[in-house]
Amino acid sequence: MPKRPSVIRQTMLTPIVLIVVLLVMAALSYQFGSRAFNRTAVEMFINIMVVVGLYVFVGNSGLLSFGHISFMCLGAYMTAWLAIPPVMKSMTLKGLPTWLLHTQLPMWVATPISGVFAALFALVVGRVIMRLSGIAASIATFGLLGVINNVYSNWDSVTGGQGSIVGIPPTMNVWIGWLGAAVAIAIAYLYAISRSGLALRATRDESVAASASGIDIVRERLVAFVVSAFIIGIAGALYAHFLSIVNPGAFYLRTTFITLSMLVVGGMYSLSGAVTGVVTISVLIELFRNLEKGISLGAIKVALPNGVQEIAIGIITIVILMYLPTGLTRNQEFSWRGWPMLRRLSRPVRTAMKELN
């Protein structure tokens, strides 16, 4: 029998294609886009990080999580604590410990620290929550979101309460956004082909058979939870640098559901799906935003009334899911073995190849 090619060789193309496509988008936006368009592009890259982070947990474990945006909140606030100039911090955030009040870290240091902070938090709460399965786990993650939001909205001396904290250096641009998205995709890909990722997908598809084969479900879920929290924590940190203000309302239900919608629209069990979902919805939002501003057709200027954008996005989401319930990518990854070769293979082999992805 010929030696089986390694998993990396077979699946390497997926992250490379995704990262290169995003690089092209970043370059085009940098070259031709206006300032406002570039901001939209950065926002898209941050959303890609969040949704890819969600995919690491949701896609591999099959558990729907409503709580991951709380890691974005943790990352963003950590960055705010670390990166705001001490003069401003000592006026607005009096409750911070003294050593934190006197430090100011550059973005390159503050961002990974924020990611690690979110991951450590996930390690602690995950040990408890990951014991649950199915809808109970989803609700428990929802409870986590509720707790974090409530604490960050009301612990005035440390988080500034409901209001916004200002003064984070706005150092984001399209290239850093792209870099963040590329790192997120690379981590997600490496996790997915790792031993733990394979084991977790086995528990997703057949939990009883998987645990009978000696897989510790709680442990593998916890690993995915921590990895995804790290990615989303970094996304939160970059988001703080992007807006230069943070407030707890930005990390609550609206963001939770919009990111989940992006994941499901793309295809929640595939990395390509996560990225496709974000890009599709972001492009649609930008398109309708421009239509609302108005386009001139010859002499007449046509503009949609305000508010049509959200309604159209909602309807399009429903229609996509109606016809493609498993998402735009049908839960498959982009790969070169895709079309020409698969056609020639018999059906069971094709199914087996798909499973490998």
Partner 1 sequence: MTAVLQIIFDALSLGSLYALGALGIALIFGVMRLVNFAHGDFIAFCVFAMLWPSIDATAVVFAGMLPFYLLIPLLLIIGATLSILSEIVVFRRFRNTNPATMMIASFALGFVIRHLMLMLYSSRPKSITLWPSLGLPVDFLGAHIPMLQVVTIVITLAALAVLVLFLKRTRYGLEMRAAAENFTMARMLGVRANGVILLAFAISGMLAAAIGLILATISGTADINMGANVMLIAFIATVIGGLGSVPGAVAGGFIIGAASVIFQATLPHDARVFRDAFVYGAVIVVLLVRPQGLFAPKSAKQRV
Choose which of 18, 129, 232, 274 interacts with partner 1 (CB under 8 A): 129
Q: Check residue 157 for interaction with partner 1 (CB under 8 A).
A: no
Binding mask 45-64 for partner 1 (x = CB under 8 A): -------------------x
Q: Check residue 123 for interaction with partner 1 (CB under 8 A).
A: no
Choose which of 20, 36, 109, 147 interacts with partner 1 (CB under 8 A): 147
Q: Check residue 136 for interaction with partner 1 (CB under 8 A).
A: yes
Neighbours of 307 (CB within 10 A): 9
Tell me the CA distances in angstroms from 230 to 42, 122, 138, 155, 326, one per residue in order. Answer: 19, 8, 19, 24, 27
Position of tokens 């890259």?
45
Q: Check residue 140 for interaction with partner 1 (CB under 8 A).
A: yes
- CB neighbours of 145 closer than 8 A, spacing ≥ 6? 66, 67, 69, 70, 252, 253, 256
Q: How far is CA 264 from the centre of its chain?
A: 12
Q: Which of residues 206-235 bind partner 1 (CB under 8 A)?
A: 208
Q: Which of residues 245-304 bind partner 1 (CB under 8 A)?
A: 253, 257, 260-261, 264-265, 268
Sign, CA torsion 150/155/159/165? positive
Rounded to the nearest 5°, which phi and psi values hold at 103? -100, 145
Q: Check residue 193 for interaction with partner 1 (CB under 8 A).
A: no
Pairing of strands 300-302, 295-297: antiparallel
Instruction: Give the residue among 123, 52, 96 at the shortest CA–CA distance from 277.
Output: 52
Nearer to partner 1, 76 or 129 (CB): 129
Q: Which of residues 21-50 bind partner 1 (CB under 8 A)?
A: none
256 vs 148: CA distance, rounded Å = 13
The answer to whether 42 touches 173, Cβ cutoff 8 Å, is yes
Considering the complex, what minimum distance in angstroms separates the CB of residue 315 from partner 1?
6
Number of residues engaging partner 1 in binding (CB under 8 A):
42
Amino acid at the residue 48: I
Choose which of 12, 23, 101, 132 interacts with partner 1 (CB under 8 A): 132
Nearer to partner 1, 25 or 129 (CB): 129
Choose which of 24, 28, 128, 283 interacts with partner 1 (CB under 8 A): 128
Query: Which residues contact partner 1 (rule: CB under 8 A)?
Result: 64, 128-129, 131-136, 139-140, 142-144, 146-147, 150-151, 154, 208, 253, 257, 260-261, 264-265, 268, 305-308, 310-311, 313-315, 317-318, 321-322, 325-326
